[in-house]
Structure formats: structure tokens, C-alpha cells
Structure 1
């Protein structure tokens, strides 16, 4: 079924939302984007998801096509924001997948909605401030949204920043990131950075009871692989799948990870 693009008014903000209807009843999968990324970036992954699964994507305030945020926010407030959005769309229960920065939001959503959030998928993400970080030279490249605004710069840093397949084909980042993502505001990017300042999920992970699938690349300069194993040990019902790619594996290895996530979401409850 065709994807429906719409705008919703949520907690005083105009938000761009995409809904791909599922062909069978069931909770939708909410996708939470990475830092500065618009919902369009995850289209290759959505294309490889089981068509029976309904998929909801949205641009956080200040990213993609959504209006700029009025005030700084924390992940706890953004989780309330996402829950309110799902309510407006008519969903009572949901699954959630978060990639990178969006993985922090996904963890917060699962923690704050133990009854409404059914299953959790964490891709190329960690536990916030208390995690094993990537190198300073890598993380410093993420302090500004320049990689979304300058395609030549994005190509030049793709191998070192994203690893995986970008090491062999850094020019692909022009299509994957630059051409496919609407550019949000600088204020929106700054507020996304501030949302993660001081945030960590480590104390909350043992309290997240949802079945969880952790996806981690074996060549991720931003989120080293060891973080996935730390989360697996702390989450009560988690499994890890390590894939041969980098930080953008959810997109560049969508043909592998899309069916894997679909199987996880549609598996009978254990």
C-alpha cells in the first residue's frame, strides 16, 4: 500500500509524519531517526520490511520537514511527544525501532510505556553518556550538521565516520544521506544534541521488560560493538545480531536487516 505523508500538530509543533499502512492488523512499528536525519533516510529499510507491518516515521521538531522546536527538550519529553503522536494516529500499542540517537529515544519510549510498547529494536546505538565512545576525531565531526549541508564534506568523512560499506564506496553517502534527507534547522540540531547531554539509560535497562533485538555493525566508528554486548547483559529479554557493516547498516544492509527485523516483530510471543 502507498505511503501516506501528512502533518500533525503535536504539543504545539507541526510534525511531518509518514505512515505506510500494513496489509494485516497489528501494532505499528515506530521508527526513530538518527541525529539530524529526516524520515526519508530510512526508506530503503522500510522497503525491505514485511508489507504486513504498518510503519510510522516522523521528523522530530527541527529535523527534516518538521518545524523548529520552541524550547530545548529532554528524551523523556520527546518520548511523551512521540506517544501523543501515536495516539493522534489512532494507535494504542506499538513496537519501536531506534537507530543511533533515535535508539536513545526508543529506549526511553520503552521505559515510559511498559504496557503500550510491545517490542524494541535498537540499531547502531548505545546507552548515552555512560557508554564506550567512538574516537574523539569521529565524534567531533557530529557536533555540527555540516555533513547534511555539504555533499563534498559528507563524502570526504564517510569512511571514517560511518565505517562499513562506506569505506569502499564513500560516494554513496551523497545519495543515502545528502539527497534523501531534508535539512532541518541548526537550532533543531543543537536541541537534539542537548537532549542527550547527561542522559544515560544504564540504570533503566534492567527495568525494560520488552523483548529486544539489538543490531550492531562490526565496523561502527561511532558506536563500538562492545556497547551492544553491554546492553544485552543488562536488558532482561535481549538478543544481539552482529552484521558485517558500519553505522549506517540499517540502510546499507537493509536487504539483510529488514527481513530480520520483520521476523522478530512477527514472531509469536514467548
Structure 2
């Protein structure tokens, strides 16, 4: 495993991690934006790919986020990272907010993506998502970052997984509180506003690469019907609906998640891809 810091054109930088050798695979994290989100799955992929993970701007070891951001800006940061690493094109897996970034890249620079997995994500926030995120922003503003994080774990993790792993989640919350920065709440707020500003629904037909859309049936953050809309709108898309797993299906159902995406990313056919 190798780590580095990629300079960006505007003076910012992104902290990144590389694992394995082979064709490049970029794993884009969701709202939390940490490269470490992918640690377990990146190890699964490393025998087949050079796996790239990174901290988004304002998060972890990357440079600070100053003011508002957008999915466009997050895609520009990713492009800067790819340029720094000398990666002309790669397989891309974007989860949730990362899926919005991946869609943006597929539309702005289609030549940079060989195969695309859109994981628990959306093309346009629906009324449910807008109300959910408005509530999360209100909670953040009124009760602070620690209360926001405690609430988030009940949304993101499948209930049955959380019941069996409550001590793990509590340790993660304590670690997040220990490394918390004064700017964290502002960064999370701006990133949620960026999520609400993403809208690629009317351009989905322009995405020309092979796409696997994957979601768990019990996801309550980006409900499965949003993945259905993605699959319906993208010409070469296949939809894989996992029977359960919540928003973090790669954590709750690692084998099912692996089977739904890894063979596809390697260019192989898989029975996991079912359009419903």
C-alpha cells in the first residue's frame, strides 16, 4: 500500500492511497468522503486492480474546503488526482455522493471511464431525499456535528448489522469525535447542499460506457427506486438489487456486494446483474 498527496491546479491537494497492481480502479466515497471507507473492499479488489482511494477536499488528509462546493467541483478534484497519477482512463465505482461525482465525470469526460459502477446513488434527488437531507442539515445546525454523526449511523447501517455491531459503531463515533475539526460541520453542510444540487437525470442517455447499478432493497438514504431510474435512463446499464444491506451494503453484505460488482468491473458477465 502506498500513500501520497496530489497537488491540484488551484493550490489544493488530495490525500490518496494506492493498493495492488493492474488496471486502475477508482473507488469514490460518499458524503463522508474518507478513503478509509473503502479499506475492506479495496483489499478485495487489489489482487485484480491498482485500486485508488482518496480523501475528498475538506476531509481527512486533503486540503481544507473554503466556502461552498458542488459535484462539479468534486469531479474537477478527481480529474486533478487522475492527472497527477497519470491515469488516462479507469474503472470507476462511486458510492452515494461518489456516484453523483462518477456520473458527472462520465458526462464531462467520458473517455476517462472504462466501466462504471453506480452504488446506492441517484441522478436527481427525489422529494423524499430532499426532505431527508433538509432534516439532516437542520439537525446539524441545531445540535452540532456529534449529534449529526450519531443520527447518521442509524440511517446508513442496516438495522440488523447495527444490532450485531453496536460496539464497533460506538468506537467509530468516539474516534470521529477525537479527530473532529472545528470546520467539520461547515464541510458536511456544504457537501449536503452539493448533493441536493446534483441533477443528471435528463442527461443519463449520454452515458455511453457499460454501467452496473447496485443498491440494497432496504436502503433508506437513496431508496432502490432511484437506482431503478438510473438503470432505466442509461443505455448500457444493468441493475443489481441486493435483498438487504442498507446504505452501506458493502459492509453489511460484503460477499453479495462483491459478487454484484467485482466480476463486472473485471469485464466478466455476472448473474448478479438483473434489471427489475
2:144–2:185 CA contact under 8 A, matched in 1: no
* Higher fraction of helix: 2
The 3 A distance-change label for structure 1 pair 123 and 164 is farther
Query: Residues of 1 paired with 2:203 and 2:143: CA distance?
Result: 32
TM-score for the superposition, normalised by structure 2: 0.82
- Partner SS state of residue 111, structure 2: coil
- Secondary structure of 1:203 counterpart: helix
How much is the aligned-residue C-alpha RMSD, in angstroms?
A: 3.0
In the superposition, relative to structure 1, how do residues 60 and 92 fare at CA in structure 2: closer, same or farther (>3 Å)?
same
Which of 29, 35, 39 pairs up with 1:43?
39
CA distance in 2, matches of 1:145, 1:92: 41
Q: Compared with structure 1, are the counterparts of its residues 186 and 89 closer, same or farther at alpha carbon in structure 2 (3 Å cutoff)?
A: same
Closer, same or farther in 2 for the Cα pair 1:86/1:155, shift >3 Å?
same
Distance apart, 1:251 and its partner CA: 2.5
Unaligned segments of structure 2, at least 5 residues = 270-276
TM-score, structure 1 as length reference: 0.84
Verify the 8 A CA contact 2:156 2:246 in the aligned structure 1.
no
Hey, what's the Cα distance between the residues in 2 that align with 1:21 and 1:148? 39
The correspondence for 1:165, drawn from 152, 160, 169, is 160
CA change 1:163–1:132 in 2 (3 A) is farther
Query: Counterpart of 1:206?
Result: 205
Segments of 5+ residues of structure 1 without an aligned counterpart are none
**Pairs within 5 Å for 1:101-250:** 101-129=97-125, 131=126, 133-134=128-129, 136=131, 140-141=135-136, 144=140, 150=146, 154=149, 158-166=153-161, 168-169=163-164, 171=166, 172-174=168-170, 179=175, 183=180, 185-243=184-242, 244-250=244-250
Q: Give distance in 2, aligned partners of 1:257 and 1:35.
A: 19
Change (3 A) 1:267 1:242: same
Q: Is the 8 A contact 1:94 1:118 kept in 2?
A: yes
Pairing partner for 2:85 from 89, 101, 110: 89
